[in-house]
Each structure stands twice: as C-alpha cells, then as structure tokens.
Amino acid sequence: MPSHSRIRVKICGLTRVDDARAAAEAGADAIGLVFYAPSPRVVNVERARAIVAALPPFVSVVGLFVNPLRAEVEATLEALPVDLLQFHGDEPPEFCESFARPYLKAVRVRPTTDLLAFQARYATARGHLFDAWHEELYGGSGKRFDWTLLNAAREGGSRCILAGGLDAENVAAACRSVRPWAVDVSSGVESAPGLKSAKRISQFIKEINHV
C-alpha cells in the first residue's frame, strides 16, 4: 500500500448511541455491532437500530457474528441496514458468501496459522481481519500478536485489517509495521467492556492520522 494512503478505522463493539456519535465525530469510517450473545458488547436489534439511526452519512455499519445460525444473520439483515458482515468464528466461505452482502473474515493469528491458506480460502472476502489468538475468546480480548507474522500474508494492503490489542499507545507503530488498509479497535478505546470513551476514540484516531 502506498505510504501516503489514509488508514481507515473501525470502532467495534458499540453499545450506546453516544459512543456511535463520538466515533463518527472523531473520524471513524465504520462502526461494529456485535450479535454474539456471550460477548459483553452484544446488542439486540432494538439497541442496534437506535445506534444506526444516530450515525451521519458515509459511516459504514458492520454486523459481527460468531458461528451464527443462518436465520440469525437473515433476521438481522432484515431488521437493520447493515453494510458489511463480519464473521469471527469458523464459518466456511460458502456460508459467508451466501447472504448477498460483502463480508469480512477474521482469523485469530498465532505462529502456526497458515495465513496464505486462510487468504486463499476466503478469497471472496472484502477484507481479511487479523486478530490475536485466544483459546476461548473470538476477538475483544485486548491481546496483541506478533505483527511480523503478517509479513508472509502481505497482499497489497487493500484487504488487510489489523486488530488485536490496539490502543492509542501502540497503533501508530502497528500501522508503520503492517501498513494495513484499516485497523479495528474495541477494548483499546473503552472505559469498561462495551462502554467506549470519546476521549480514547479521539486519541486513537489522532495517532493514526499522524502515521
């Protein structure tokens, strides 16, 4: 990716209308809504509808799922104007592709992960999201991984989304190291799980804009 390209930002795991407004005002390109019951950041359709309604134009809405039933995804798409689907579990590509909606596919990275095989398997994904490996959690762990593991997976940058333990203190270094198309942050801009801090969101995005 050219060094002058602007790195896009997704703020994930929003649960409050005010947090969505703060993310948009700080310059976020996308917000993520979690539809995965075990997550402390899960939202129901009613809450998600209020959050989406508060967004200004040109802020994308991403719906995050982990190993969902088909009916769950279809019901969400029927109820909400979701721009992108994000699959964070073990969903096969055929499932991800079947909703007539662009999708992101996440992978939890550890040294044994075959990233080239992952990218080839999910070649139809609009983006590949690289997150930290955790034995139990599907994202939102607050843990980072060794960014050099992505060296073998470089794909011109346009599909690379970096996640995992990012915050205002390390995101600039992460962006210089990986040169992703976008970064995805959740716990790194929170005051408590699911509760975003407008100040931390603003600081996070300012750091990226300095890269």
83 has catalytic annotation: no
Question: Is residue 19 annotated as part of the catalytic site, yes or no?
Answer: no
Count of residues for the chain? 211
Catalytic residue among 12, 96, 160, 175: 12
Cα torsion 56, 54, 13, 127: sign: negative
- Residue among 19, 96, 131, 184 flagged as catalytic: 131
Contact 143, 136 (CB under 8 A): no
Tell me the one-letter amino acid at 76: T
Give the largest Cα separation in the chain, rounded.
43
Distance from C-alpha of 12 to C-alpha of 189, rounded to nearest angstrom: 9
| Phi and psi at residue 161, to the nearest 5° | -120, 120
DSSP reduced 3-state for 3: coil
Which residues are catalytic, by number? 12, 131
